[in-house]
Amino acid sequence: MTITSVKRTHNFSAGPAALPLEVLEKAQRELVDFQSAGMSVMEMSHRSKEFSGVIESAEARARRLLNISDEYAVLFLQGGASLQFSMIPMNLCLPGKSVDVVNTGSWTKKAIKELNKIGESNIIASSEDKNFSYIPSLDQLNFNADASYSYITSNNTIAGTQWKEFPKTPTPLVADMSSDIVSRKINVNDFGIIFAGAQKNIGPSGVTLVIIRKDLLERADAALPTMLQYRTHVDNKSLYNTPPTFGIYMIDLVFEWLEAKGGLDAIEAINIQKAKRLYDAFDGEFYICPVAEGSRSDMNVVFRIQNNEELEAQFVKEATAAGLSGLKGHRSVGGLRASIYNACPEESVDALISFMKDFESRNR
């Protein structure tokens, strides 16, 4: 039985999220016998020639997709995006210098909490005054030249906002791109560190992609725990200890799929269209989008139904029965959310829009 004979749901999960069906099917075909090795990729040494090929390919594809220069290292780490909240200040904080942060939501707040255990945060702007429903405008941001580094969350998975343009900062810009990595073109050279948990846009949970400018490796105190120093992982090409081999293999397949689709130019155009169709379906009376125009995420589309929690619960229940899953908003904010990452097909967005119209006609 192949996966295609199984009924697949329209999956709007925020994370772990949908993976491309072609990728799952290829992994299925290769599962019990990878490259004629007579074993799966999960069962072989991380130092085997087969797995070396996988991790080298995943890095090469990341470099091609994102146009990453030799001045940057590409790492596949563990501990999720959440461990980066600690590793970044441990490795990058300079004595007596605080960190400039733009606070745009729950994930930034968690990063600030960890940063404050190690160094000092300086919140130069925040959208908490309006429930994180917007991204502060670039001309209001005053980054300090004597900060250790600057920190932002490029896409706010829970609030449904996304930076459309990035600030030019006098200190290295660190960005949590967990929920929009490889969804659009970016200029990696504008950043000191980019990091992303894999489970939104590039693979299964258990791997974190870190792109780090090599000169920043010199900052960390050699007394830091070995596993928590970026230089350990750079010196050992992400193979200091056993890496999450299966997850890295899946990332390679997802990147292969992306390259075949035409890379970031192509996927960005598709993502903009998908998001636009969905936002256009909100009339502002029955379906309400709480996010400011100009800040709306192309990845996580957050909406309400007449601010009526009962109707929203009814919507989720009926949508699930109709084969549309994962539409409940994050438990901390309520409401509804459709996560439409790279792997969410256009047909799923269309199915959601027709369901929304039907639901509205029955409940108006």
Q: In angstroms, give the least distance from the CB of 82 to ligand PLP.
A: 3
Q: In angstroms, give the least distance from the CB of 206 to ligand PLP.
A: 9
Q: In angstroms, give the least distance from the CB of 342 to ligand PLP.
A: 14
Q: Choose, from 100, 163, 180, 200, the residue flagged as catalytic.
A: 200
Residues between 91 and 130 with contacts to ligand PLP, criterion CB under 6 A: 107
Q: In angstroms, give the least distance from the CB of 198 to ligand PLP.
A: 8
Q: Choose which of 104, 153, 245, 339 interacts with ligand PLP (CB under 6 A).
A: 153
Q: Which residue, 181 or 356, has its beta carbon nearer to ligand PLP? A: 181
Binding of residue 78 to ligand PLP (CB under 6 A): no
Interacting span for ligand PLP (CB under 6 A) from 55-63, 175-183, 185-193, 279-287: 175-183
- Neighbouring CB atoms inside 10 A of 293's CB total 8
Binding of residue 342 to ligand PLP (CB under 6 A): no
Binding of residue 298 to ligand PLP (CB under 6 A): no
Q: Which residue, 100 or 176, has its beta carbon nearer to ligand PLP? A: 176
- Neighbouring CB atoms inside 10 A of 266's CB total 13
Interacting span for ligand PLP (CB under 6 A) from 79-87, 137-145, 307-315, 354-362: 79-87
Query: Annotated catalytic, 176?
Result: yes
Q: How far apart are the C-alpha atoms of 335 and 349, rounded to whole Å? A: 18
Query: Annotated catalytic, 190?
Result: no
Q: Choose which of 15, 192, 247, 335 interacts with ligand PLP (CB under 6 A).
A: 15
Q: Choose which of 11, 133, 148, 179 interacts with ligand PLP (CB under 6 A).
A: 179
Q: Give burial (CB, 10 Å; 0-12/13-18/19+) of 218.
A: exposed
Binding of residue 169 to ligand PLP (CB under 6 A): no
Residue (of 149, 87, 131, 156) closest to 339 by Cα position: 156
Q: Choose, from 100, 163, 176, 180, the residue flagged as catalytic.
A: 176
**Parallel, antiparallel, or unpaired for β 99-103 and 150-153?**
parallel
Query: Annotated catalytic, 328?
Result: no
Binding of residue 157 to ligand PLP (CB under 6 A): yes
Q: Which residue, 15 or 203, has its beta carbon nearer to ligand PLP? A: 15
Q: Which residue, 44 or 58, has its beta carbon nearer to ligand PLP? A: 58
Q: Residue numbers of the site for ligand PLP (CB under 6 A)? A: 15, 80-82, 107, 153, 157, 176, 178-179, 197, 200
Which active-site residues does the annotation give?
107, 176, 200
